[in-house]
Every structure is written in structure tokens, then in C-alpha cells.
């Protein structure tokens, strides 16, 4: 069997030659009895794959894609529905709707979600972000997303490659106390 060092070298090789598609997740590392998974994730400068989306939709805020299957480079239409009894706030519908997308999730070869950047990250980029818009109860807003990955959070982009995806979307409740996170349905890029 492989030692920790052998596995680390193999994973490092994949990381160096495909930096935006191989994300080491804590679940995978812990399943393989790595005790230093936090250091590996930190050294590789990848976001954590532990994203807890509100999959139960208990507050009745949902976001869905128009279709389940897209071709590469096709625009993905996203609809944010507020079926709750309260007003919410989101960057969907603002002048900077891309900031509603926290991460792009790609299902990896282990069946876990790898996390990819949906926009350039500080200090690589500095933005003037529009304020979130108000979305009243029983209303919806549509955003046409150009599916691009910002490699390691830099300005360099590539289109989504074929695979299974979902997006984590940010919004605020009516009290604007904290940002909440929901995920889209899964969709396929062919």
C-alpha cells in the first residue's frame, strides 16, 4: 500500500498539472487517515469543500437552473425564487449578480464536491460591488450566468469542462444579520 508521502506526491502531481479540477477535501483525506489534512488544504490554497447548503429549503428560498443539461460555453439561466413570507436580499438582479455565486461545485471522481471559484478573489482583484436588491415574498429574479472558473481565484478563466455541477448562492434574510447559503439543483455540462 502507499504511504502518506507517496499519496501526497501523487496528489501534488495532479494538483500541479490540473490545478483547478483537483481539490483535496477533508472528507477524502480523513477517509484515508491523514491527520494533517488542514495543512494540506492550506498549502494548496484551495477553499474547503465543506459547504452546507440549505438543501431542505425550509425557508422556501430556492435557486434553480432553467435546464438540467448544458453544452460547454452555453449560458446557464438561474432563477432565485422567494417563496417565503419575508423579504430577502440578493445580488441576483443587481448590477453585479456574479457576487451572488459563492462557489462552483464540481462532482469529483470520489463522488464529493470539489470547490471552484466563481469570481476573481482579493488580492488578485478589487471590485466595486453593487448593493443587494430587495426581493419581496412570492417574487423571483433571473440571472444569465456565463459559466467560467477563475483559476485559483485569479483573473485567469476557463470554461466549465464536461461534468456534474451545482452552485452555492448567497442571500440575506429580511433582518440582514447574516448571509445564508443555498445550492442550485445539479446540472450537467456536456
pLDDT in tens, 62-84: 999 999 999 999 999 999 999 99
Going along the chain from its start, the domains and CATH numbers come out as 4-44 (no CATH), 61-189 (2.60.40)
* Under 8 Å between Cβ of 54 and 180: yes
| Cell numbers that stand for 22 in this block | 483537483
| Confidence at residue 58, expressed as pLDDT on a 0 to 100 scale | 57
* Under 8 Å between Cβ of 91 and 169: no
- How far apart are the C-alpha atoms of 90 and 167, rounded to whole Å? 15
pLDDT digits (tens, 9 = 90+) for 93-145: 899 999 999 999 999 989 999 999 999 998 998 888 899 999 999 999 999 99
Helix (H) or strand (E) holding 42: helix 37-44
Instruction: Name which of 162, 135, 134 is nearest 147 in CA terms.
Output: 162
Q: How confident is the model at residue 48 (pLDDT cuts 50, 70, 90)?
A: very low
pLDDT at 46 over 80: no
Amino acid at each position: 500500500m502507499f504511504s502518506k508521502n507517496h499519496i501526497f506526491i501523487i496528489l501534488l502531481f495532479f494538483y500541479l498539472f490540473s490545478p483547478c479540477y483537483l481539490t483535496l477535501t477533508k472528507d477524502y483525506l480523513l477517509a484515508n487517515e491523514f491527520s494533517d489534512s488542514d495543512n494540506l488544504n492550506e498549502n494548496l490554497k484551495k477553499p474547503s469543500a465543506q459547504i452546507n447548503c440549505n438543501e431542505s429549503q425550509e425557508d422556501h428560498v430556492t435557486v434553480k437552473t432553467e435546464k438540467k443539461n448544458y453544452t460547454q460555453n452555453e449560458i446557464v439561466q438561474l432563477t432565485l425564487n422567494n417563496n417565503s413570507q419575508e423579504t430577502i436580499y440578493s445580488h441576483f438582479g443587481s448590477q453585479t449578480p456574479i457576487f451572488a455565486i459563492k462557489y462552483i461545485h464540481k462532482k469529483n471522481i470520489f463522488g464529493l464536491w470539489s470547490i471552484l471559484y466563481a469570481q476573481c478573489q482579493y488580492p488578485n482583484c478589487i471590485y466595486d460591488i453593487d448593493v443587494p436588491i430587495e426581493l419581496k415574498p412570492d417574487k423571483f429574479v433571473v440571472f444569465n450566468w456565463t459559466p467560467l472558473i477563475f483559476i485559483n481565484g485569479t483573473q485567469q478563466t476557463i470554461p466549465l469542462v464536461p461534468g456534474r455541477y451545482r452552485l452555492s448562492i448567497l442571500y440575506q434574510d429580511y433582518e440582514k444579520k447574516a448571509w445564508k447559503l443555498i445550492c442550485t439543483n445539479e446540472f450537467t455540462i456536456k
